Structure 1
Amino acid sequence: MTLTITNIKRPGSEAPESVTVENGVIKGWNLPHEGEVIDGQGGAVAPALIEPHAHLREPGQTQKEDLASGLAAAAAGGYGTVVSMPNTSPVVDDPATVRTLIEKADGLGFARLRPAAALTRGQEGEHLAELAYLKEAGAVMFTDDGRTNEDARVLRLGLEYARSLDMVVSVHAEDASLRAGGVMNEGPVSEALGLPGNPAAAEAARVARDLEIVAQTGARLHVQHLSTARALELVRGAKARGLPVTCEVCPHHLTLTDEALRSFDAVYKVAPPLRTQVDADALLGGLLDGTVDCLATDHAPHTGAEKERDLLEAPFGIAYIELAFPLMWTRFGERLGLERLLDLMTAAPARVLGWPAPTLEPGAPADLVVLDLDTEREVDPRTFLSKAKFSPWAGETLRGWPTLTVVGGRIAFRR
């Protein structure tokens, strides 16, 4: 398949250009137009985004999301590759499931799937899964995300095994006993509402423990969805010591705070919870100074009926893989700049995973996105390709919408 996209601008350039892709790779720039020709309408072109942390709910939870809806939504958000979490039913802890997911996703024609596999059997935290075979089948990360790793010895063994395989382990860093039954951030708002709180110390205590295990093992650890200033400070200190630790932050922890829970709307219920404005400001500072390695959405879809339950009963999770770039560009584009924001959503997650940095050079894989940085559009959850058709940002006007996503030389999304 040959495709030429015209009237596009590379970051840092104002000159309109064209790019031709053929047989899944970038053939070259400003060549005679070949194949299907698409007008990029002056949009910014970049490597397709990489999502290092999403829940696609297949197998076993397809009433919430499935590979088709989740990967179509990802492509609509400008993502070319998605790392899916293994807390499905059954858990992704055997090589056959990894292979099946990849094969099914490859036939859909949307974003590319790269599954993470469970670190322990059934994500029960007791016995390591068959990590070498899982890597051989195509797993790109080990994690018990959705469950916290309570047994430090098992985590140590998992990190040592993963190191021998040159793989990264990612962790949901919360001390379960400190978190207890908390449904939101512990603080003045939870006290005023009479709701059980999840203290910032639950995250910080677990990060501190895990960093000591990294110091002992020398293995690569990735801390998921940091939400507190204190945990960020611990990661910053570990990096200063030269420890091989990386971390991600999610846009919802940057743009929302626990004040939103005064509405008693479970759309704002997420784990780890929305924290304070002080925490959000600290996380943005971590993006600006390089302490935070990458952005991830932790896309976690649920049914509308589940999210309509009260705050004590509703499940944790926010789904917005289609909105992540527009949300970040609208809120923080001026402070971060386009090139830094794109790095956080492309090359940075690739570095975390140990992948080559994506580029737009001739011969590179033809994974790219065209972004309309200026046109404002209202967030309308009814138009989402995800099955989760509700949003904390419903009705908000955002800029930076993807207009075209190409994955492996094929059009995966076109607005």
Structure 2
Amino acid sequence: MSTVIRGAAPLGGKPVDVLLDGPVIAEVGRKLDGDSVIDASGLVLLPGLVDLHVHLREPGREDTETVASGSAAAALGGFTAVHAMANTDPVADSAEIVEQVWRRGREVGLVDVRPVGAVSKGLAGESLAEMGNMARSAAAVRVFSDDGHCVADARLMRRALEYAKAFDAVIAQHAQDPRLADASACAHEGPLSGRLGLPGWPAVAEESIVARDVMLAEHTGSRLHVCHVSSGGTVEVIRWAKARGIAVTAEVAPHHLLLTCDLLETYDPLFKVNPPLRPDDDVQALRAGLADGTIDAVATDHAPHAAHDKDHAFGDAAFGMLGLETALGVIALTMVETGLLDWAGVADRMSVRPAAIGRLADHGGAIAAGAPANLVLVDPAGAWTVDPAALASRSRNTPFAGRTLPARAVATFLRGRPTVESGALVDGKVTA
């Protein structure tokens, strides 16, 4: 059946009709007809969002999230593709595991689930994982990362960059020098962490690794992607590297664009994340870097945790926050309402560039005839209040509980098929 999305504003421009016929956009124009009609008056139409950084926890921690529940959260958030990180149990460091995740994503069918392969075996940082096998597998892995663990050994990082080049793949680095910020580090290092008695995580632990890695990327001629940038100093390093012509891209998480380390005053473990929340000066630098394109993409770092993993003293609690369903609202609040990005800019940072980085040819495309119909309708005035119990995730660790966000995805289409309508999953349920 064909569907007309009537009166939508592509990228926030002038309203038009968009005709979906099967998996593609058949026509963009006025007074189009189809088998069904969706009234999209007042709504913004964007290419489906693409997330370069999610933790779906399957296999191994299905009590906190599954491919199905995470896919549901993603579709409700306006995403049509997500990259599932490798720190599962067992680790996604072989063709067998990445294919398992990829096939499960296809079975669920709410978003395209693209597995991220581990850089090192077991995320141990000692020897390369089976990168070639994963790249050549049915999952066709094009992003490799030890996220949660820094590839701290410069020699191993160099080899990973060299090897990834053969597959046009990218190494996504969790930049955290373990000698400057060890496993106990949990708060931005500064007067506040000292007063609270929390082990400090200095910004230079991120910045020094990024500086090293952009030089390695230049030396090898390979692609480097910097995960969850959190400091203004890192933005400057990336800006310098791009000016030099180095093939580096970067992402920022929504929470780092809004929340500051002052929230740690309460010792609430909901605000414990890696890298940690930083001062407002860093937040403003991140916003500016995203606005001017130094930072290429928004990526949620969606990290679900069971209550028994989060409900501890701050230092003992698990790192991470939910992000898939709230990302678009946080970006509307921090970037659109502030005038730093328009909706075309949001599409660029949340769809076009992430799809290009992950080499997803069918996502992040133009809203034009013949393009794949991976789309999201956004209500730019659809303010809503975050209720953890109403989220699709199996976990409830959102730092935005009770906060009102100004915009929300109301319909999502994967290859022309609606996965979300009127802000709810089409089938109304999540299969475990």
- TM-score range with shorter-chain normalisation? over 0.9
Aligned partner of 1:368 in structure 2 is 375
Please, what TM-score do these two structures have when normalized by structure 2?
A: 0.93
RMSD of aligned alpha carbons: 1.4
What per-residue deviation string (whole Å, max 9, x for no partner) do you get for residues 352-398 of structure 1? 22444412111111100000001221111111011122421211111
Partners in 1 of 2:360 and 2:106 — Cα distance?
Answer: 19
Unaligned stretches of 5+ residues in structure 1: none
Indicate yes or no: 2:340 matched with 1:335. yes
Aligned partner of 1:178 in structure 2 is 180
What per-residue deviation string (whole Å, max 9, x for no partner) do you get for residues 280-314 of structure 1? 11111111222111111111110122211111110
Indicate yes or no: 2:239 matched with 1:232. no
Partner of 2:335, secondary structure, is helix
Give the fraction of aligned pairs with identical amino acids, expressed as a percent. 39
Aligned partner of 1:411 in structure 2 is 418
What's the offset of the Cα at 1:75? 0.4
What's the offset of the Cα at 1:250? 1.0
Maintained 8 Å contact 2:257/2:334: no
Aligned partner of 1:350 in structure 2 is 355
What's the offset of the Cα at 1:210? 1.3
| Alignment coverage as a number of residue pairs | 414
Unaligned stretches of 5+ residues in structure 2: 424-432
Decide which moves more: 170-179 or 41-50: 41-50
Partner of 1:113, secondary structure, is strand
Partner residue of 1:249 out of 249, 252, 255: 252
What's the offset of the Cα at 1:31? 6.2
Aligned partner of 2:429 in structure 1 is none
Decide which moves more: 200-209 or 32-41: 32-41
What's the offset of the Cα at 1:37? 2.7
Aligned partner of 1:308 in structure 2 is 311
Indicate yes or no: 2:328 matched with 1:321. no
Aligned partner of 2:161 in structure 1 is 159
Maintained 8 Å contact 1:10/1:44: yes
Partners in 1 of 2:249 and 2:369 — Cα distance?
Answer: 30
Aligned partner of 1:38 in structure 2 is 38
Aligned partner of 1:48 in structure 2 is 48
What per-residue deviation string (whole Å, max 9, x for no partner) do you get for residues 205-251 of structure 1? 11122122112211110010011111211111111111111111111
Aligned partner of 2:426 in structure 1 is none
Partners in 2 of 1:358 and 1:176 — Cα distance?
Answer: 39
Maintained 8 Å contact 1:19/1:31: no
Give the aligned residue type for 1:309. Answer: H
Partners in 2 of 1:408 and 1:351 — Cα distance?
Answer: 18
Partners in 1 of 2:208 and 2:32 — Cα distance?
Answer: 59
Indicate yes or no: 2:216 matched with 1:213. yes
Maintained 8 Å contact 1:183/1:197: yes
Give the aligned residue type for 2:254. Answer: P
Aligned partner of 1:18 in structure 2 is 17
Give the aligned residue type for 2:315. Answer: L
CA gap 1:332/1:177 in 2 versus in 1, 3 angstroms: same
What's the offset of the Cα at 1:36? 3.3
Please, what TM-score do these two structures have when normalized by structure 1?
A: 0.96
Partner of 2:277, secondary structure, is coil
Give the aligned residue type for 1:278. Answer: D
Give the aligned residue type for 1:382. Answer: A
